[in-house]
Amino acid sequence: MVSCTFNTAKAVKKDDALHTTFVYENATVETGVDTFSVTPTAVEYDFKTELKVPKLGLMLVGLGGNNGTTLIGSVIANKNNISFETKERFVKPNYFGSVTQSSTVKLGVDAEGNDVYAPFNSILPMVSPNDFVVGGWDISKMKLDKAMKRAQVLDVNLQKQLYPYIEDIEPLSSIYYPDFIALNQKERADNVSNVKSDGSVDLENKWKDVEKVRKDIADFKAKNGLDKVIVLWTANTERYSDIIPGVNDTADNMIKSIKENHEEVSPSTIFAVACILDKIPYINGSPQNTFVPGVIELSEKYQSFIGGDDFKSGQTKVKSVLAQFLVDAGIRPVSIASYNHLGNNDGYNLSAPKQFRSKEISKSSVVDDIIESNQILYNDEYGKKIDHCIVIKYLPAVGDSKVAMDEYYSELMLGGHNKISIHNVCEDSLLATPLIIDLVVMTEFFSRVSYKKKSDKDYDNFYSVLTLLSYWLKAPLAKPGFKPINGLNKQRLAVENLLRLLVGLPVNNELRFEERLV
């Protein structure tokens, strides 16, 4: 395991914590007609990072799905050093695709001015995915060995070696409200906790469902001797919930609506509320609006971490980079046409119109802040929006290998045009699973960081909505009153600079005076 030593007076280790001072420099701007009045600002903060890594439990909603079985398979393979042979080569276990496990961070330069990089997870102590204790829920009671085979994601030679570790694991019974997921998922729903004595679905005891989730988490934590638990939704995409005044607009109304069994309370919201009440971090990896305003307010009230929405894996991650590149280059994208076809159960569920609409919303918002950043290209004269079309089709033959095709049509100077076409085959779950690992590792890490202004007495935790997770999320939540940041490079830089400041290093820049000045 690589570790770094930082020689700086800004970071001092004390009582198993790292205490760091940092001056946050920014600028406030007042805009007028063709004018900008810019005032630099500086605020001094103290940060405290707890260095002890806890024993962590991860509970997945959708444990028996493609992502769930791939996640638990990757943890077991890496922990037990399980290698396997494909028709092409011999494969050793790894976590490729994970930022925390397989990427590096620039530390600085060596004596010759060359950049020096270190593993991302060597900067500060972070939990290892090899040490995750994994469990969770699923509406299907299929044991994990058979569920893994059904998913058709991992190589068969690897699956066969994993079966002895998972053949006796059966997911906990989950919550099923038929109106929220596609009707075609009904045949899978044989492991449902909210059922009446006659076997029909019980929609009249939603608070009981909350209490059931809370008990499941408490039992899992006690049984495995865990210090912390994080819950992550990687189950079916739900339809959007209607935002209704008096129902889900405030924390009190949210609780009231659950107790009154309101029809707009979704299963994912039930899980979120259950976690928030016990201060269990909850991450939404699907595109539905789990975090309605009442849930966000409830998380603020209980100071419980939430993160979402929707894993940013293949096509959308490329879009957040390419659109930023075009706009930063002064090129004006006027349309983006995105087509997908996939054959896994996610695609099957998304073939229903209401569930597709949830995904369409999360995928379409990814360029919004990029467009708003350039008023030269996007204004009243040229237009402030782009045409953005998204199509998803279910095609069983391609399985988990999602096919994404994109066309970026842009305007150049003096009436010219540029067209970029991309064909991208994404092995869906093998891209999403490393994101789950990163979201969990970073959520746990952020829970050990606190801060205060230099003049304050007490430390605070980060705001309840963990916007620092945005790098891994397609439609990131923002603090009420703020706009989400979708540009991938900005998101990554924020996380990297936080790690740097916590160990007393300056935030990263590429001025490179070592080579640019005489």
| Residues 6 or more apart whose Cβ sits within 8 Å of residue 418 | 331, 408, 409, 410, 411, 412
Domain boundaries, the chain: 315-428
Label residues 45-60 b or e (16+ Cβ within 10 Å = b).
ebbbbbeebeebbbbb
Whether residue 310 lies in the annotated active site = yes
What average pLDDT does the segment 320-337 reach? 92
pLDDT per residue as tens digits for the range 169-193: 999 999 999 999 888 888 888 999 9
Q: Which of 402, 406, 428, 438 is catalytic?
A: 402
Token reading at 205? 């005891």
Average pLDDT over residues 197-207: 93
Q: Could you give the strand order of the β-sheet that contains 460-461, starting from the edge strand earlier in sequence?
A: 11-14, 17-32, 35-50, 449-453, 460-461
| β-bridge mates for residue 121, sequence order | none
- Can you say whether the dihedral through the CA atoms of 193, 197, 199, 203 is positive or negative? negative
pLDDT beyond 80 at 354? no
* Amino acid residing at 133: V
N- to C-terminal Cα separation, the chain: 39
Give the three-class secondary structure for 514: helix
For residue 503, the model assigns a pLDDT of: 95
Q: How many helices (H) and strands (E) does the chain have?
A: 15, 19
d(CA 392, CA 157): 31
What are the helix (H) ranges across 34-113? 66-79, 99-102
> Per residue in 225-240, pLDDT tens?
999 999 999 998 898 9
Cα 34 to Cα 30, 259, 394: the distances in Å are 11, 54, 50
CB 411 within 8 A of CB 332: yes
Alpha-carbon span 483 to 159, nearest angstrom: 43
Pairwise CA distance, residues 233 & 87, whole Å: 34
Q: How many CA atoms lie within 13 A of 113 on its CB side?
A: 8
CA distance readout (Å), 390 to 107, 132, 338, 420: 40, 36, 5, 16
Whether 79 sits among the annotated catalytic residues: the reply is no
CATH architecture assignment, domain 315-428: 2-Layer Sandwich (3.30)
**Percent of the chain residues topping a pLDDT of 70:** 97
Q: Does residue 430 sit in helix, strand or coil?
A: helix
Residue 272's pLDDT band, with cuts at 50, 70 and 90, is very high
| Each residue's pLDDT tens digit, 462-476 | 999 999 999 999 888
Nearest to 180 by CA among 241, 131, 110: 241
pLDDT tens readout for residues 467-511: 999 999 988 898 988 988 888 889 999 999 999 999 999 998 888
Report which secondary-structure segment, H or E, holds 294.
Answer: helix 293-302
Per-residue pLDDT reduced to its tens digit, 232-263: 999 988 989 999 999 999 999 999 999 999 99
**pLDDT given for residue 363 in this prediction:** 66
The pLDDT of residue 359 = 62
**Cα separation, 287 vs 295, whole angstroms:** 16
Whether the predicted model's global pTM rises above the 0.85 cut = yes
Do 387 and 435 touch, CB atoms closer than 8 A?
A: no
Instruction: Give the CA dihedral 37, 39, 40, 43, nearest 10 degrees.
Output: -140
φ, ψ of residue 126 in degrees (nearest 5): -135, 150
Parallel, antiparallel, or unpaired for β 401-411 and 332-342? antiparallel
- pLDDT tens digits for 31-64? 988 899 999 999 999 999 999 999 999 999 999 9
Residues in the chain: 518
Banded model confidence at residue 148, pLDDT cuts 50, 70, 90:
very high
Query: Which of 145, 202, 309, 310 is an active site residue?
Result: 310
Query: Which residue among 309, 359, 363, 428 is the active-site one?
Result: 359
Query: CA 288 from chain center: how many Å?
Result: 13
pLDDT bracket for residue 8 (50, 70, 90): confident
